[in-house]
Amino acid sequence: KQQPVYIKNTLVVFDREISKEIIPEEIKNDILYVVAPFAEKILEECFYQFRKLRCLFLPQLISVGPHAFQQCYSLSKIVGDKIEILEDYSLYQCYSLANVNLLNVRKFGKKCLSECHSLQLLENEAAIETDKDVFEEDVSFQLISFYKLNQKENILNFDEMGNTLQYLRMPCEQQDMGNPENILVAKDSHQSFLGVCEIADPFPRAADLRLRGATKEHIQSSKQEQPFVSPQLVYCCKSSLQWFSKRIRGLVLSQLTELTTSFTNYQCLIFAHLPLCKLICESGFKFCQSLRKLYSSQLTQVGKQAFYGCLSLTEISSQYLLRVEESTFSYCQSLFNVDLKSAVEIKAKAFHRCLALKQVICNDKVEIDPGCFSDCDQGKVNVFTSNENKAEVANAVFGAQQRYQEVLCFEFVERRQMIKRIRRSKMICDRIMHLRKFVL
């Protein structure tokens, strides 16, 4: 066995089996990424309550043990196409998990996917049976596709999923149909579904529906007066808010200056692109548990509890906010590094129980309430400010600005740009070498 290596918030492991004993306790709250190119098995409770963990590179992973990633609230992506076994509670309460390949999983353990609020797309070609409680508690699926499942025991509650589920492939009969009228099914679904649901032909694959933020097409569509909804359920318009349901997964409003409509409990909403928005009302995006990114180049004002319970929120244009109101970001479990360079006041419980929060960047005039970081119990929050009148703030330390690796939201932007620069430099070098041959 080879000892794991810890480099700048990344843990590199070389073993085929990973257990909790090999990971030093003192780095638990600093690990953002795990790279384990040979790991085939993650043992029980290995990464239990690693609250800042973001992304896993596990290309050979086959088996995930009981409670292995339970309460990894910020975990958003698992890279690996060979997963076959998810034991009981293996991914339980991974609130932010949005991207994991479940195509080859043949065993789904009890509650292994429960409370994975951001997991909207599930496609599986291997499972014949599953635990009946695999989806229990608060799911926000848009697509569920099983190719081989063959059990009559209920695993889906259509009354609870009715607000989110749009596409369903289910070859087995369900004892309690509930109310699936608004769901589109594959033509190879069980006859009991074909009798009450419309058929989607062709039936989409998960890759067709995956979102990575606003695209050029979305932004172009948002320049028109009449609302347009894309196949991925992205709502695009200049400023009008009409004709949308709680199934909406993206919001692109190119001319909206004030958001006075509350999107409370829009559990499918993944991103909001509001480039001219200056104000977001009280409870504007409260309990939007899948919301991952909000962009605005002019945002200066947000109301109380505007992002309360946005468990997956990772990126927000906060650099021009003047005040952070009470409970604005409470329970934002994926916030890591927040830029508040323009803020003059941060009020009580502004970041209450933001367990992944590592740093807040402020100016020299900011007034910070002593209780703004209440219950941020996973180590101290670094507050960077040149203000010499530094009051005692619970769960915070005042220090120099810390630099971190890029924090994953949808994809690694900085790394992609670096690769482009390297390729461009190589191309220029190749041209120079080619020209030198003729000159010399």
Instruction: Give the SS3 label for residue 160.
Output: helix
CA dihedral 55, 58, 63, 67 (to 10 degrees): -20
Q: How far is CA 208 from CA 55, 121, 203, 265, in A?
A: 22, 10, 10, 25
pLDDT reported for residue 440: 56
pLDDT of 289 above 90: yes
**Confidence band for 405, pLDDT divided at 50, 70 and 90:** confident
Residues facing residue 42 across a β-bridge = 18, 64
Q: How far is CA 8 from CA 34, 384, 401, in A?
A: 11, 20, 15
pLDDT reported for residue 165: 86
How is the chain split into domains, by residue range? 416-440
What pTM value is reported for the model? 0.87
Instruction: Give the SS3 label for residue 278.
Output: coil
Greater confidence (328 vs 190) lies with: 328
Say how far apart CA 21 and CA 67 lie, in whole Å: 15
Say how far apart CA 396 and CA 371 lie, in whole Å: 10
Read off the pLDDT of residues 142-189 as tens digits, 9 standing for 90 and up.
999 998 888 767 777 777 776 788 898 988 866 565 666 678 999 988
Question: If you average pLDDT over residues 340-348, what whole number do you get?
Answer: 95
pLDDT reported for residue 274: 97
**Confidence band for 382, pLDDT divided at 50, 70 and 90:** very high
Residues facing residue 140 across a β-bridge = none
Q: What size, in residues, is the chain? A: 440
pLDDT of 390 above 60: yes
Cis omega (within 30 of 0) on the bond before 202? yes
Read off the pLDDT of residues 86-124 as tens digits, 9 standing for 90 and up.
999 999 999 999 999 999 999 999 999 999 999 999 999
**Confidence band for 242, pLDDT divided at 50, 70 and 90:** confident
The pair of three-digit structure tokens given for residue 121, joined into one six-digit string: 């797309």
The pair of three-digit structure tokens given for residue 24, joined into one six-digit string: 């030093």
pLDDT reported for residue 424: 77
Q: What's the chain's average pLDDT?
A: 89
pLDDT reported for residue 177: 59
The residue whose two tokens read 């009409």 is: 242
pLDDT of 380 above 80: yes
pLDDT of 345 above 70: yes
Say how far apart CA 169 and CA 301 lie, in whole Å: 44
Question: If you average pLDDT over residues 301-316, what whole number do you get?
Answer: 96
Say how far apart CA 82 and CA 289 lie, in whole Å: 28
